[in-house]
A = this chain, B = another copy of it.
Amino acid sequence: MNNKPIGIFDSGIGGLTVTHEIIRTLPHENLIYLGDTARVPYGSRDKDIITQFSLELTRFLLKEDPKAIVVACNTISATCLEAIQAISPVPVIGVVEPTIKEAISTTKTSHIGVIGTRATIASKIYEEKIRSLHHDIQITTKACPLFVPLAEEGWFDHAASKLIADEYLKELRETTIGTLILGCTHYPLLKNIIQEAVGDDIKLIDSARPTAEALKQLLKDNNLLRTEGEPEYKFFVTDSPTISERTARVFFHGAFPGRLEKVTLA
Which A residues contact B (CB, under 8 angstroms)? 37-39, 44-46, 48-49, 53, 145-146, 149-150, 152-153, 155, 158-160, 163-164, 167, 238-240, 242-243
Contact = CB atoms under 8 A, between A and B. Distances in A.
A123 to B, nearest CB: 14
A167 B158 CA distance: 10
A46 B153 contact: no
A215 to B, nearest CB: 30
Contact of A240 (B48, B53, B239): B48
Contacts of A160: 160, 163-164, 167
A53 B49 CA distance: 16
A49 B44 contact: no
8 contacts: A38-B49, A39-B39, A46-B242, A46-B243, A48-B240, A145-B152, A146-B149, A146-B153
Contacts of A155: 146
Given A49-B238, A160-B160, 9 more contacts: A38-B39, A38-B45, A39-B39, A45-B240, A46-B239, A46-B243, A49-B239, A49-B240, A146-B149
Q: State how many copies of this chain the complex holds.
A: 2
Contacts of A167: 158, 160
Contacts of A164: 160
A153 B167 CA distance: 12
Contacts of A149: 145-146, 149
Contacts of A44: 152, 243
Nearest 3 A/B pairs, CB to CB: A46-B240, A160-B163, A149-B149
Contacts of A146: 146, 149-150, 153, 155
Contacts of A39: 38-39
Nearest to A149: B149
A142 to B, nearest CB: 13
A158 B168 CA distance: 12
A138 B152 CA distance: 31
Nearest to A165: B160
A238 B48 CA distance: 11
Contacts of A158: 163, 167
